[in-house]
Amino acid sequence: MASATRTNRVNRNPAPGRTPETPGPGRRPSKAAALWRSSVGKKAVMAVSGLVMLAYLVAHMLGNLKVFFGPDDLNGYAHWLRTIGEPVLHHGWFLWLARPVLLAAVVAHGVAAYQLSRRDLKARPQQYAHRRRQSTYATRTMRWGGVILGLFIVWHILDLTTLTVNPLAEEGHPYQNIVASFSTWYGGGIYCLAMLALGLHVRHGFWSAAQTLGVNNPRRDRALKLAANGLALLLTAGFLSVPVAVMAGLVR
């Protein structure tokens, strides 16, 4: 009886390669858990969550460009976003339904990226004397670009959503709030730096997602690379055009 009790207890001193959380021989992890624990699964999560965020970025950029048509167009667009789904959905419900999905994509993307990075470092404890320059550049760009974008998301929310760090902001006036934010050197500077990091992140991320999801092949590689470069350039130019126009006095 004592022997059976000891057998059922959690192994506090697991054998090498095992952890207390690792299921025993009689328990198998679910397919979802097994997929998440694998490097392939984490890359797939990064690819899918990245595509969700990419779709949002394209829509967000198109909405931002309405600033060039004046305050009525941009403020009207912001109001329309809160009426999507009416009368089935109440005022503003669409945004509150979309935000958790976007937040989940950001968190899943960041966690998977961090865990893959840690796994890669553990697999290569010794620094290689010679590295492929292109691979190192892409890896460092994605890693540090992700950190910059993560910090920027926090700033962007505080700046133009909660209006916490935007002293001249007015609730319900997005056009005026954008002008107020980008009229300061730090508001425009932070945004421009983040958008440059975004362009590089999208360029490498789109190509990586295509490889992870098995979309690429020798016949499509050239087209996919052109698409990655074109999309990154389009997003970067579109997002940068707004703060540059405000700082140049073209949008007031």
Question: What pLDDT does residue 97 have?
Answer: 95
Q: What is the DSSP letter of 86?
A: T
Report pLDDT for 121.
Answer: 76
Annotate the chain with three-state secondary structure. CHHHHHHHCCCCCCCCCCCCCCCCCCCCCCHHHHHHHCHHHHHHHHHHHHHHHHHHHHHHHHHHHHHHHCHHHHHHHHHHHCCCCCCCCCCCHHHHHHHHHHHHHHHHHHHHHHHHHHHHHHHCCCCCCCCCHHHHHHHHHHHHHHHHHHHHHHHHHHHHCCCCCCCCCCCCCHHHHHHHHHCCHHHHHHHHHHHHHHHHHHHHHHHHHHHHCCCCCCCCHHHHHHHHHHHHHHHHHHHHHHHHHHHCCCCC
pLDDT, residue 98, reads 95
Backbone angles phi, psi at 15, to 5 degrees: -70, 160
pLDDT the model gives residue 120: 77
Per the omega criterion (within 30 degrees of 0), is the bond before 71 cis? no
The chain-wide mean pLDDT, for the chain, equals 85
Enumerate residue ranges in the chain where pLDDT < 70: 1-27, 124-140
Per-residue pLDDT at 26: 56
pLDDT in tens, 56-87: 999 999 999 999 999 999 999 999 999 999 99
Give how far Cα 163 sits from Cα of 27, 160, 170, 177, Å: 50, 5, 8, 8
- Residue identified by tokens 């690819």 is 47
Predicted local distance difference test score (pLDDT) of residue 127: 52
